[in-house]
Structure 1
Amino acid sequence: MSRALPVIHRVVTEETGPYRVDHVDLEFSNGERRQFQRLHGRGHGAVVVVPMLDAETVLLVREYAAGVHRYELGLVKGRIDAGETPLQAADRELKEEAGYGARSLLALRELTLAPTYMSHVTHLVLARDLYPERLPGDEPEPLEPVPWRLDALDQLILREDFSEGRSIAALFIAREWLRNK
């Protein structure tokens, strides 16, 4: 079913540290009016990288996750810096976090975190034909690389230390793209 988008009557913006919050006054096609909040991060978006060591093995990294105060397995990820494309950011983050560059980078799709109230977009990038190259990063300690076979994703998603939604979604999307390419 296709619906007309709500009419925006007013937007009031509030600056709150690292975020900008829009208070949006909306009117829906049935006449109902509501105020929504829309959260915008500072920056140019983010990337999550699926680095393939070979046709069957992805390279994960283990790093400290302050939000849950534990070490987490996940994919290489990070911010897109000013002036960078998503592919350039993916290659830079891969070199900083995992110690590899990629000769082949492919943007698979965009992912949103909570699109009902956040504008944040993460670009999913598949990295293949890897070669060793390390750049200094902003991590306080070196990240631990952990190879994982794609045919064992069922075991990975049940691990307590692998919980980040973008990494889970990205691995399944990449696996399906690789199977059907």
Structure 2
Amino acid sequence: MPPKKKEAKPVLTFKKADVEVLSSRIAFDGPLFRVVREEVREPGEKITQRDVIRHNGSVVILAVYDSSRKDPLIVMERQYRHAAGQYLWEVPAGKMDEGEDRLAAAKRELKEETGYRARKWTKLVRYFASPGFLGEWMQVFLAEGLLEGEAEPEEDELLEVVLVPLSEVLRMIDAGKILDGKTLVSVQLYARHRGRKR
């Protein structure tokens, strides 16, 4: 019998790409984001034109009510999203103000949208939502030890806030009823981490 081979683990390297920006101009400048048109020399010496949406960044809050429960409750929001043309189920999130600290932004957004404050905050994951054209990255925070309060949504935010058992949120994901990327990422990562701890 031949000796067992060790399974090779993939090596992930993270290094900054060697890119030269040859020209850059603002094609659109709005209150939420700007679009920058750039001519760049990308790796492999290829010169190409890219339109990139630049944004201050966003925070995502996976707020868990009583995480000690076997099936903890997740703070979920239902709101109309015009770009998607439908109502979506989402976890709380929001854009950062220029120069704002990410944790401070997460605390502000959770209180504004839901009224909740949290005793414990943990960074969960950071990711790019759509790096083909969007320069924004999103920081997901886990918020635990929730305290109830009054929500203070912005004028254009019409939110239905509900507590949903984690098992039900996962069922909704499996059934294709949750389509929001930040919710898919944060809830499934949290569920996986909980499974490891058992």
Could you say whether these structures have the same fold, taking a TM-score greater than 0.5 normalized by the shorter chain as the test? yes
Provide the C-alpha distance between the structure 1 equivalents of 2:107 and 2:151, rounded to a whole number of angstroms: 10
In terms of fraction of residues, the more strand-rich structure is 1
1:50 matched residue in structure 2: 62
Aligned residues of 2:58 and 2:138 also touching (Cα < 8 A)? yes
Provide the C-alpha distance between the structure 2 equivalents of 1:100 and 1:27, rounded to a whole number of angstroms: 45
2:7 matched residue in structure 1: none
Provide the C-alpha distance between the structure 2 equivalents of 1:5 and 1:41, rounded to a whole number of angstroms: 18
Q: How does 1:1-181 map to 2 (within 5 A)?
A: 5-8=17-20, 10-18=22-30, 19-29=34-44, 31=45, 33-42=46-55, 44-55=56-67, 56-140=72-156, 142-158=158-174, 161-180=177-196
Letter in 2 for 1:147: L
Moved more, 167-176 or 45-54: 167-176
Please report how far the alpha carbon of residue 10 of structure 1 lies from its aligned counterpart in structure 2 after TM superposition: 0.9
| Distance change >3 Å, CA 93–CA 158, structure 1 → 2 | same
Aligned residues of 2:61 and 2:143 also touching (Cα < 8 A)? yes
Give me the CA root mean square deviation.
2.5
Gaps of 5+ in 2: 1-10
| Distance change >3 Å, CA 96–CA 27, structure 1 → 2 | closer
SS at match of 1:172: helix
Identity of aligned residues (%): 23
- Bigger Rg, structure 1 or 2: 2
Provide the C-alpha distance between the structure 2 equivalents of 1:109 and 1:87, rounded to a whole number of angstroms: 13
Gaps of 5+ in 1: none
Please report how far the alpha carbon of residue 27 of structure 1 lies from its aligned counterpart in structure 2 after TM superposition: 4.4
Provide Cα deviations, 1:108-165, integer angstroms capped at 9, x if missing partner. 1211111133210111010000001225221445521222222234421145652111
| Distance change >3 Å, CA 118–CA 141, structure 1 → 2 | closer
Moved more, 56-65 or 20-29: 20-29
SS at match of 2:109: helix
| Distance change >3 Å, CA 142–CA 110, structure 1 → 2 | same
SS at match of 1:157: helix
SS at match of 1:178: helix
Moved over 4 A (4+): 1-4, 158-161
Letter in 2 for 1:65: R
SS at match of 1:67: coil
SS at match of 2:88: strand
Please report how far the alpha carbon of residue 16 of structure 1 lies from its aligned counterpart in structure 2 after TM superposition: 0.6
Moved more, 14-23 or 90-99: 14-23
